Structure 1
Amino acid sequence: MTLTDGTYRLGPSTGRLLIKTGRAGLGRKAGHDLTIEATRWSGEAVVAVSDPGGSSVHVSVETGSLEVREGTGGLKPLTDADRAEIKRTLGDRALLHIAEHPTITFRSTGVTGTPESFEIAGDLTIKGRTHPVTVHGKGNGGSLLRGWATVTQSTWGIKPYAAFLGALRLADEVRVEFEVVRLEPVDRPER
């Protein structure tokens, strides 16, 4: 399917949204690099192929839907108990404080490039704080779109997780990745 002008629905039925963390500190060999998936998210992309500036994207992620999918590295494999503890930690006040901030949102402010190579500038809101982010993307000219953005947690008031008196901690920068594998047009009523 070729990417054409239109409005497309985004969410778990059309692709994946992942957060990839790294480790820092003297004890980094003990920890894991994590892949965390947003399991409940939605959005919409308005595509204007010949006029990228007329394109837009907005996405909303339920913070309580973040699930640890993989943990690589470390001295021992990631266990189910580890996954449960990480999920609890994500909801803490120092991290995402999901009770007060149940969603993370991204709203584009500008789109440049082509369906094969594009950038989306936008505003990312986490924990009630909004800051600019640039998403870098690539496509095959059709329904496969991939991209990433680097997010510095402390910019949004997130204190990267630390253990063992700070000897093991998550790196402040995380990589947010997306993959759209299927285009799902939004049905608009005729006027």
Structure 2
Amino acid sequence: MEGTFELGPDDGRLLVRTGRSGLGRRAGHDLTIEATRWTAAVEAREPRDASSVEVTVDVDALEVREGAGGVKPLTDQDRAEIKKNLRKVLDAQRYPRITFVSTAVGEDAVEGDLTIMGRVKPVRIGAVLDAGRLRGGFTVEQSRWGIKPYSAFFGALRLADEVEIEFDLRLPG
């Protein structure tokens, strides 16, 4: 499938999944966070290595969708507090966007530069294009970008350093 595609939330989901660590991990939740404002510019070409991808995510539009585990279910107040903490941890006022720009596109992976909080690091994203759908994901170690994973209760409950990013998109046409 060749062409130029502009994608966004109407074309699929871009999710962040977090885990917990620390002595108090039973009290916290494994979160599913959805990017509700994002854009992707995809240049799909043959041969595939002539393709490119650029993605921009608005940090302010990261919304908590689910909280698994934990002693009690997530409340709306919990969601609002988590969003506030997320904006603070990612310094959304100074760095309002997270971006990815591909440097190489292969049959089952895309390599490129991921920019979080002004820091650029190379990543490899597993991706499969099948019947007009693009699915994939990768792991981000927050500390690699200088992000100190959120912690509470004097560090007894903290977010795991590794965060899973996954996507499932429909290509138009």
CA contact (8 A) 2:132 2:172 kept: no
**Structure 1 residue 17: deviation in Å?**
0.6
Q: Which has the higher helix share?
A: 2
User: Would you say 1:164 and 2:153 are equivalent positions?
Assistant: yes
2:54 to 55, 58, 63: 58
User: Would you say 1:110 and 2:98 are equivalent positions?
Assistant: no
1:67 corresponds to which letter in structure 2? E
CA contact (8 A) 2:14 2:35 kept: yes
1:41 corresponds to which letter in structure 2? W
2:19 to 22, 29, 47: 22
User: Would you say 1:148 and 2:137 are equivalent positions?
Assistant: yes
1:90 maps to 86
Give the paired residue count.
Answer: 173
Instruction: Supply the distance in 1 between the matched residues of 2:32 and 2:119 (Cα, whole angstroms).
Output: 24
Instruction: Supply the distance in 1 between the matched residues of 2:129 and 2:84 (Cα, whole angstroms).
Output: 35
1:139 to 90, 104, 129: 129
State the Cα deviation string for residues 154-179 of structure 1 (Å, max 9, x = none).
11111101011111100001001111
Identical residues among aligned pairs (%): 56
2:74 maps to 78
**Structure 1 residue 138: deviation in Å?**
2.0
**Structure 1 residue 139: deviation in Å?**
3.0
Instruction: Supply the distance in 2 between the matched residues of 1:184 and 1:145 (Cα, whole angstroms).
Output: 11
TM-score normalised per structure 1: 0.88
SS at match of 1:26: coil
**Larger Cα Rg: Structure 1 or Structure 2?**
1
State the Cα deviation string for residues 51-79 of structure 1 (Å, max 9, x = none).
11101100000110000000001111011
SS at match of 1:13: helix
1:38 to 35, 38, 41: 35
TM-score normalised per structure 2: 0.97
State the Cα deviation string for residues 72-100 of structure 1 (Å, max 9, x = none).
011110111100000000111xx111111
